[in-house]
Amino acid sequence: MANPRPSDPLQPTRLTPRVADDAPPARRFAAPRGAVLWLLLSLGLCLAALFALPRLMAPPPAPPAAPGAAPSQPEEPPDPILTPAEKAAARLDAQQALAALLTTSDRLAGRSPQDWQAEGWRAAQGRIADGERAYRQERYPAAIRIYADAARQLAALEAMVPGLIHDRLQAGLRALDAGDSVHAAQFFRQLLKIDPQHAAGREALARAEAFERVQALLAEGMAYERMDDIPKARAAFEAALALDGATVAASEGLARLTETDSAEAYAKAMSSGYEALAAARYDEARSAFERARKLNPTTAAQDALAQSIERGVAARIAAALASAERNEKAERWDEAARAYATALGLDKGLTDLKPKADNARARAALAREIADALAAPASRPTLLALLARVQRIGSAGPRLRAQQKQLEKALRALEQAAP
């Protein structure tokens, strides 16, 4: 066999099997090239399928949890095997736990938790339903555990209530102070859904609902005040306070009007007092100045009051002394003594009046004794003693002289009657 040249294609060397001498001649068979290629392709596909199939058959990955979704509850452990007595006791415990839980749930439902913590409220109600399901399946220990879990959830919701009430009240009040009555009313209504009996919330809501009317009344009152129409201004401010007792502007408006009224009343009282003082109507002047001092305790009012009192006292003293003098001249000694007592009571410093007052009392006593002696038969010594006292008085008036004559006549009658 000749060596091939480099440019010649390689030719496969045919191997001829050794054939036994007695074997029949071999039958030549040549496989087609396309069949070989198909066989190799099939083998490759099988190998690819063998490696890729496990990945293709694997379950798809779980979708991500929705944001905010409540975590799924852990699977309850199996209940222990209970004796009939233990089962009955567990059943009773489950019933009592559910009764307490429903009481809490009903109380919390009145605070509209679905408005301020809907997710937590739904979760708690879901746990109650889980517990009831376990109870119906006679899985009483599981029901008790689930009810306890629901009770903790409801307790957490109830613990939020005071803070919610406080926050809504304060937010509403801030809005109301800022003049935003619409948002203020929304906050107060939210509060009242949580606590319908909240007194401060109800009052605040009434204020928010009356806000526009109150503002109109305030504007009306201030306009009347500028026009010096005090009665109408006062009525407007009082109406605003009736709608909202916490309206500072209305309170201040009434205070201004009261101050104005007080100033006018003070001036009027002082004028009346001076007029009465000039006319010597001292009691009237004193009353007027006392009114003025109560309205405004100025130095002028206090001085005028003191002056009216002083002049009034002086006038009463003068009147008492004049009365005493008239009664002395008329020998009405009892009246004279009372007049001196009045003067001394008004001014205890009038010491020069004491002798006159003592004399008036002594003369009054003597006049009464003489009248008594003349009215009833008296003894001669008694009549003589009375006559001596009369004679010692240097300035006897007509009345005393008449009594003296009566005493002398009575003595003569006794002497004539004596044996």
Pair of tokens at residue 148 = 């306890």
Q: Are 260 and 225 in contact (CB under 8 A)?
A: no
Q: Are 391 and 407 in contact (CB under 8 A)?
A: no
At 73 the pLDDT is 55
Pair of tokens at residue 234 = 């006062």
User: How far apart are the two ends of the chain, measured CA to CA in Å?
Assistant: 230
Pair of tokens at residue 341 = 């007592």
At 14 the pLDDT is 42
CB within 8 Å of 61: residues ≥ 6 apart: none
At 114 the pLDDT is 93
pTM of the complete model: 0.47
How far is 184 from 197, CA to CA, in rounded Å?
A: 18
Number of H helices, E strands in the chain: 17, 0
Radius of gyration of the chain (CA): 63
Closest by CA position to 313, among listed 342, 274, 290: 342
Closest by CA position to 138, among listed 96, 180, 73, 84: 84
At 40 the pLDDT is 43
Pair of tokens at residue 91 = 């059943």
Question: Which phi-psi region, left, alpha or beta, contains residue 62 (left: φ > 0; alpha: ψ -120 to 50)?
Answer: beta
At 3 the pLDDT is 42
What is the sign, positive or negative, of the torsion defined by CA atoms of 394, 397, 402, 403?
negative
For 298, list phi and psi in degrees, rounded to 5: -80, 165
User: Angle CA(60)–CA(65)–CA(69) in degrees, nearest 5?
Assistant: 155
3-class DSSP state of 391 = helix
How far is 23 from 21, CA to CA, in rounded Å?
A: 6
352: which DSSP letter?
A: G
Question: What secondary structure does DSSP assign to 247-271, as a single string?
Answer: -HHHHHHHHHHHHHHHHHHHHHHHH
Pair of tokens at residue 320 = 């008492």
pLDDT, one tens digit for every residue, the chain (419 residues) = 444 433 344 344 343 344 444 444 433 334 444 443 444 444 544 444 344 434 433 444 433 433 333 444 556 677 788 899 999 999 999 999 999 999 999 999 999 999 999 999 999 999 999 999 999 999 999 999 999 999 999 999 999 999 999 999 999 999 998 989 999 999 999 999 999 999 999 999 999 999 999 999 999 999 998 998 989 999 999 999 999 888 889 999 999 988 887 888 889 899 999 999 889 898 999 999 898 998 888 999 999 999 899 888 999 899 999 999 899 888 888 899 999 899 989 888 888 888 989 989 988 898 888 888 888 877 888 888 888 888 888 777 888 888 888 888 888 888 787 66
How far is 290 from 292, CA to CA, in rounded Å?
A: 5
What is the sign, positive or negative, of the torsion defined by CA atoms of 244, 208, 196, 111?
negative
At 36 the pLDDT is 39
At 79 the pLDDT is 77
At 409 the pLDDT is 87
- Across the chain, what does the average pLDDT equal? 82
What is the sign, positive or negative, of the torsion defined by CA atoms of 94, 96, 101, 102?
positive
353: which DSSP letter?
A: G
Q: Which helix (H) or strand (E) holds 215?
A: helix 211-226
Burial of 251 (0-12, 13-18, 19+ CB in 10 A): middle
At 75 the pLDDT is 64
What is the sign, positive or negative, of the torsion defined by CA atoms of 261, 266, 269, 274?
negative
How far is 238 from 225, CA to CA, in rounded Å?
A: 13
Q: Name the residue type at position 300.
A: A
